[in-house]
Structure 1
Amino acid sequence: MKDKIIQQYEEDENIMIRLFAHWCANHDINAATLYKNAYPHQHENGILLNIMKETEKDNLQVDTETVIHVLQLFGNEDLAFEVSKAAVKF
């Protein structure tokens, strides 16, 4: 049961990262740079970098409120704040 819960969390986290990467691509924002702005003391996020390589612009439309909400659900308040700051510019 414990392994199933961990696996489900990782899958959900992967979806969150994909939504974030798509939102960034659709707004011509470098997701890795925005992530670094939110978490300057962390190493590069390898999962994010891999997903960025797979992400095609306009392949999936994700609205800003959804991205912010999903990021907050996973405790990524700083990244949600960076998304909201970036969204003001367009």
Structure 2
Amino acid sequence: MNQKEIQEKIIQNYQSEEKMMILVFAQWCVNHELDPTELYIKAYPNQASNLALKEALDLTVPKEEAGEVADETLLGVLDLFGNDDLAFVVTEEIKNMKK
């Protein structure tokens, strides 16, 4: 592989992993009967239209069919991708659920 091919492979891997992170977020929301789009807009009001989130929503399953996504797992994945604003919104929702 030459340098350009390696860079392209790294970018493809990152994008694939980012899509998985978005899917974990979307499924967590579905499992907790929350609207993923609404939470995303709270975190990123200037990015109301997110194609990756829309694609992830198509891949989610009803909470009865889904495995559990632990709060800590979601927060860890968001942290890996530097989604601090979204992690903050999720943390607030977790606090609200525990009330």
Normalising by the residue count of structure 2, what TM-score does the alignment of the two structures yield?
0.85
Could you list the runs of 4 or more consecutive aligned residues of structure 1 that deviate by over 6 angstroms after TM superposition?
none
The gaps in structure 1 that reach 5 residues or longer are none
In the alignment, what sits opposite 1:61?
68
Please provide the CA RMSD for this pair. 1.0
- Which of 68, 86, 89 is equivalent to 2:93? 86
Identity, % of aligned pairs?
A: 41
The answer on 1:6 being equivalent to 2:11 is yes
* Mapping 1:1-90, distance limit 5 Å: 1-58=6-63, 59-90=66-97
The gaps in structure 2 that reach 5 residues or longer are 1-5
**Number of residue pairs matched by the alignment:** 90
Normalising by the residue count of structure 1, what TM-score does the alignment of the two structures yield?
0.93
Measured in 2, the distance between the counterparts of 1:16 and 1:68 equals 10
